[in-house]
Amino acid sequence: MSYLRAVLSSDIKKEEIYLKELISVGKKLQYNTTKYQNELKKIHSKKTIVKKNLLKKASVKKSVKKTSTYNKSKYTIKSVYTKNNTIVVTFNKHINNKYLTFFELHYKKLSKDVFDIKGNFKDAKPSKLSINGIDRISIAQNKKDILRIVLSHKKNLKTTYSFNKKSIIIKIHNLSKKRISPSISKIIKNKYYVNKNKVIVIDAGHGGKDSGAVGPYKRYEKHSVLKVSKYLYSYLKQEGYKVYLTRNKDKFIKVNNRTILANRKKADIFISVHANSVPKSKAHRISGIETFFLSPARSERAKRVAAKENRSDLRKMNYSSKNSFLTVLNRSKITASQKLAIDVQKNILHNLRKSYKKVNDSGVREGPFWVLVGAQMPSILVEIGYMSHPLESKRLYSSAYQKKIAKGIANGVNAYFAKNP
């Protein structure tokens, strides 16, 4: 956090100090610190050119003002049109993924997919868009620099979008007569959405000499999570993904080695499957499912769960060093990991509650899990239930319950990729 504050406050001296600390900590953990060394070099080079930049600042401002006024076009969006089941928005300049914001609205009998596009379009008002199978498409200049396109329909539309150099392409996947419940956002069936280029690595927690949590009648976490991981592997393969397991038998793998496969396979997401536990005095009262994404823990509960899952990792660091290290190394993945965690948590609960009563939602949380540190992609840790709870541990050893959990996770993965193509 100290390094981030230094960056945000543009304190180059402190940046330099904290970068040196991160490089030192990273080397102790055998983490590749090349990018932090490069940042340090950049800071050194900045010092040599600051004076030159200050001298040129005034003249540059004047020239930029004149150039931008002269070249700036009043309208940045060139055209908006429909083709088959797609909407195409073209621009007068190159764009990136920051040019579109997407969200959904659900009413009693109507669902809306809303696309806010950065730019202004001369013909927004007279333009009329239509696609067979969609009740209504509206287009309007919502703000001076925001063009809003809204798809309205009685069922929950499944849409994805992609970016080209000078265009945005919005595609609708499920233009059929079949009604789909709007209660779960972006559950994409195999016939609607298959992406064979997506790679997923599943990690079944613990294994071998590390049994993980132990429940009544010697029910072991390592066995339950392996079964769920194997079912999840099968479901995702059926959806067309490339899927790998870190272990497919009762084998011990060191925590810091679990993401090696994910990095080697250049995975798009990493999912670690675990089961929770509490002391016997609380065993009858605490149950439920929760999903974590990697970040410095902000609650005592998250710290407790992380400490339990980190036990097999022998790396020793003080709390302050851990938090600084986690924050800097993973800040670019935190947002994506949180989105994945939300979709997975929501879909597990939805799938289980159709057949089982009293499945508690323990929420989506941040946590400093070392098993996720090495992942170079969005990653989550799913606690599929409590081995310590009498009823839940029994369910966790049931193949029917395991399949329901695995299917819920798979639906969550589909939802995540649909919204984040």
Give 65 or 202, the one with higher predicted confidence.
202
Domain with CATH 2.60.40 in the chain: 77-172
pLDDT at 412 over 70: yes
pLDDT at 395 over 90: yes
Predicted local distance difference test score (pLDDT) of residue 368: 73
Predicted local distance difference test score (pLDDT) of residue 181: 45
Q: How confident is the model over 32-69, as pLDDT tens digits?
A: 777 777 777 777 776 666 556 666 655 545 444 443 33
Tokens of 14: 């402190």
Q: How confident is the model over 133-160, as pLDDT tens digits?
A: 888 999 999 888 999 999 998 888 888 8
Q: How far apart are CA 175 and CA 192, in angstroms?
A: 9
Number of DSSP helices (H) and strands (E) in the chain, helices first: 10, 16
Among 20-29, 163-172, 264-273, 382-391, the range scoring the smallest mean pLDDT is 20-29
Predicted local distance difference test score (pLDDT) of residue 156: 81
Among 100-109, 223-232, 237-246, the range scoring the smallest mean pLDDT is 100-109
pLDDT at 167 over 80: yes
Residue 409's nearest CA partner among 341, 361, 358, 335 is: 341
Q: How far apart are CA 332 and CA 346, in angstroms?
A: 23
pLDDT at 250 over 80: yes
Looking at domain 199-419, what is its CATH homologous superfamily? Zn-dependent exopeptidases (3.40.630.40)
What pTM value is reported for the model?
0.54
Domain with CATH 3.40.630.40 in the chain: 199-419
CA 39 to chain centre: 26
pLDDT at 89 over 90: yes
pLDDT at 305 over 50: no
Tokens of 147: 């063009």
Cβ(112)–Cβ(82) under 8 Å? no
Q: How far apart are CA 366 and CA 47, in angstroms?
A: 37
Q: How confident is the model over 346-386, as pLDDT tens digits?
A: 999 999 999 998 899 999 988 777 677 778 889 999 999 99
Quickly state the pLDDT bin for 179 (edges 50, 70, 90): very low
pLDDT at 208 over 80: yes
Residue 212's nearest CA partner among 223, 197, 199 is: 223
Residue 343's nearest CA partner among 269, 286, 274 is: 269
Any idea which architecture 77-172 has in CATH? Answer: Sandwich (2.60)
